Structure 1
Amino acid sequence: MKRRQFLQAATVGAASTAVAAPAIAQSMPELKWRLQSGFPKSLDTIYGAAEVIAKYVSEATDGKFQIQPFASGEIVGTPQVADAVGNGTIEMGHTCSYYYFGKDPTFSLGTAAPFGFNARQQNAWLYHGGGNDLLNEFYAKHNLYGMPAGNTGVQMGGWFRKEIKTVQDLQGLKIRIAGIAGMVLAKLGAVPQQIPGGDIYPSLERGTIDAAEWVGPYDDEKLGFSKVAPYYYYPGFWEGGPSIHLFINNAKWKELPKAYQAILTTAAGYANNDMLAKYDARNPAALRRLLGAGTQLRPFSQDIMEAAFKATNEVYDEVSAKNADFKKAIDSIKAFRNEEYLWFQVAEYAYDTFMVRARARG
């Protein structure tokens, strides 16, 4: 190659490198974000999802996008997480949407609708039934962008200091419960209390409350509820497959490079599946330990379930009449739920029913 041609080629190559380098640098900026969890570190599965997200985002970006998780209360309390993310105090929160029910009942439906979905159906609605887009239309009004980043599976009905055999036994019962489920139980005569996880045990111990629901055997054992309330009821009909959300400040989300948005979405999706798998793996042994230590397992009676189902639909109608965002979301949930159970009764229910009976036969 002649000297002039070589120099021309070298100049072109250098120019293209000069253009490409800033473009790459722009798409992979160095960021340090704070993520406030709604849960204490002692609950390693539900809090641990925040650590999982931070780990995979860091590894996927060669450490350029750093997310530092904080446990509940380390920056703000759990009841303040949504506001703190929305106003930019922190960039992200990992929490239950229904904790912010007091701001708008529609927040409840981001976590779970009483007598709504199981975990698989919840994910189907969010990912492929328009649920996540519908919720984000609502969240945007609070400067939030949300995505599913955890699921506990169907939860337990909670710990009770006395037996609950009939609807009448719920009269005046003070129970720790979050979201729209509290409105349902209030219709049945209970007195709902919204208490953070860390305050449940002392409230039960002192008799300030008569009952409390949290998640399931693995977490409930850690929190020691069996020591102060002997009766463990199931199922938690208000949380058939509740999502834990990753909330991101909406303005910050829009500023993120597309590559970072994709990485964050993927990390949250992994955390969503990982949390459910961990609970499914850990709950059986925890339940055995609780029962071995004297916990008395009880199902809610058919009478209570039917009354709660009726009360739930009344609540949905009442709130929908006043709140267009809620109506839009609950109508979508009901329609998708009905289609899902058309399929699940054929496949999952038939299979699971046979296997449960086969297990009982030994």
Structure 2
Amino acid sequence: MERRTFLKGATVAATATAIASPAVAQSMPEVKWRLTSSFPKTLDTIYGTAQQMAKFVSEATDGKFQIQCFAAGELVPGLQALDAVTTGAVDCAHTPTYFYTGKDPVLVFGTGTPFGLNARMSNAWWHFAGGADLINASLAKFNAIGLLCGNSGCQMGGFFRKELKEVADLNGLKFRIAGMGGQVLARLGAVPQVIAPGDVYPALERGTIDATEFVGPYDDEKLGLYRVAKYYYYPGWWEGGAMIHLVANLEKYNELPKHYKAILFQACEAANTWMLAKYDTVNAPALRRLIAAGTELRPFPQAIMEACLKSTNELLAELAGANPDFKKTLDSVNAYRGDQLLWWQVGELSFDTFMARTRGRT
């Protein structure tokens, strides 16, 4: 009797195992993606953000969902990342969407517009004010979907070989700058150049360009820009808080199991936090090192800031008048910025201004 009972129980357990094992296997399929970054490996914070995201995904799936990261140029050039995603040559890319405004000007808002939102405002607009829907409506035209996966915070204005004193100094200035900031400066006589990160230093060294912006002190130091240009201007008014995205092939993304999509989303969220926290940590000591090495820190003259703001507003108005989708997105950003700046002036700005004035006394 006991033997029959044991055999019956063993049979039930074996049957349950036979049923459960395939179910578990099916719920955790093997998925291997290739990611192309728009950045070189030497920029360990931006490029490292993609690596962190891939690490989070792998850990959450016990290695079943693997994303292999490739630096700019290893698979495709950094400025062609979206094209590679669209065609399915790669499964995803880690890239700023404003590299592709020639395809659709709405994509500038996925990274940030001149005199737009700062990092925290950008993050909030994306998640709670319709930003994700607006940008993904544009990316869908290119068989892609974007997940927020990084932010640089406010950037520097860049390294210049000559000092800027007035608006006229922008005339003829060959300036490496991506996105809408270049269009704004072109209206003031500058000659914007779109150059991939790995090619910036030699272009500045040879005099092919007169100035370059990139990100902030940490990355600019890594690129060695201070060795070939003396003046370091701030702030990067064209990128008050530059968002970076994981841009995935839409078909490949839709093939993912629901829980893999959730894991990918959460991994991008974690990487988004990681990138900004890392930059906030490394930029301050890097700025001190640059100054110690002879870099001359300069604020953009007020006249140049005012001229650039005027040029920005004129350009945005022209684009909005010609493109209803652009106008819809611009209206969303402007309305959100207006509300946020009111609160920022009362809260964050007043606190930060006081603390900056009292630095060294606390």
In structure 2, the residue matched to 1:166 is 166
Report SS of the residue matched to 2:335: helix
Question: How far, CA to CA, are the matches of 1:319 and 1:191 in structure 2?
Answer: 20
What letter matches 1:329 in structure 2? T
Determine whether 1:291 maps to 2:295: no
In structure 2, the residue matched to 1:277 is 277
Question: How far, CA to CA, are the matches of 1:25 and 1:204 in structure 2?
Answer: 53
Question: How far, CA to CA, are the matches of 1:64 and 1:22 in structure 2?
Answer: 15
Question: Are the equivalent residues in 1 in contact too, given 2:203–2:209 (CA < 8 A)?
Answer: yes
Deviation at 1:331, TM superposition (A): 1.3
Deviation at 1:102, TM superposition (A): 1.8
In structure 2, the residue matched to 1:27 is 27
Identity, in percent, stands at: 61
Report SS of the residue matched to 1:345: helix
In structure 2, the residue matched to 1:335 is 335
Q: TM-score w.r.t. structure 1 length? A: 0.95
Question: How far, CA to CA, are the matches of 1:6 and 1:337 in structure 2?
Answer: 70
Question: Are the equivalent residues in 2 in contact too, given 1:143–1:251 (CA < 8 A)?
Answer: yes
Question: How far, CA to CA, are the matches of 1:4 and 1:332 in structure 2?
Answer: 72
Determine whether 1:224 maps to 2:218: no
In structure 2, the residue matched to 1:82 is 82
Deviation at 1:22, TM superposition (A): 3.0
Q: Structure 1's 3 and 323: CA in aligned 2 closer, same or farther, altered over 3 A? A: farther
Question: How far, CA to CA, are the matches of 1:358 and 1:238 in structure 2?
Answer: 28
In structure 1, the residue matched to 2:49 is 49
What letter matches 1:110 in structure 2? G
Question: Are the equivalent residues in 2 in contact too, given 1:114–1:181 (CA < 8 A)?
Answer: yes
Question: Are the equivalent residues in 2 in contact too, given 1:105–1:179 (CA < 8 A)?
Answer: no
1:180-191 pair list within 5 angstroms: 180-191=180-191
What letter matches 1:162 in structure 2? K
Deviation at 1:18, TM superposition (A): 4.4
What letter matches 1:347 in structure 2? G
Deviation at 1:24, TM superposition (A): 2.5
Question: How far, CA to CA, are the matches of 1:113 and 1:2 in structure 2?
Answer: 77
In structure 1, the residue matched to 2:251 is 251
Question: How far, CA to CA, are the matches of 1:8 and 1:116 in structure 2?
Answer: 70
What letter matches 2:347 in structure 1? A
Determine whether 1:123 maps to 2:138: no
Question: How far, CA to CA, are the matches of 1:156 and 1:213 in structure 2?
Answer: 7
The range that moved more, 75-84 or 11-20, is: 11-20
5+ residue gaps, structure 2, are none
What letter matches 1:341 in structure 2? L
Deviation at 1:329, TM superposition (A): 1.5
What letter matches 2:54 in structure 1? A
Question: How far, CA to CA, are the matches of 2:174 and 2:269 in structure 1?
Answer: 36
5+ residue gaps, structure 1, are none
Deviation at 1:204, TM superposition (A): 1.1
- After superposition, give the CA deviation of every residue in 1:296-323 in whole Å (9 maximum; x if it has no partner): 1000111111111111111111111222
Deviation at 1:4, TM superposition (A): 8.8
What letter matches 1:29 in structure 2? P
Determine whether 1:200 maps to 2:195: no
Q: TM-score w.r.t. structure 2 length? A: 0.95
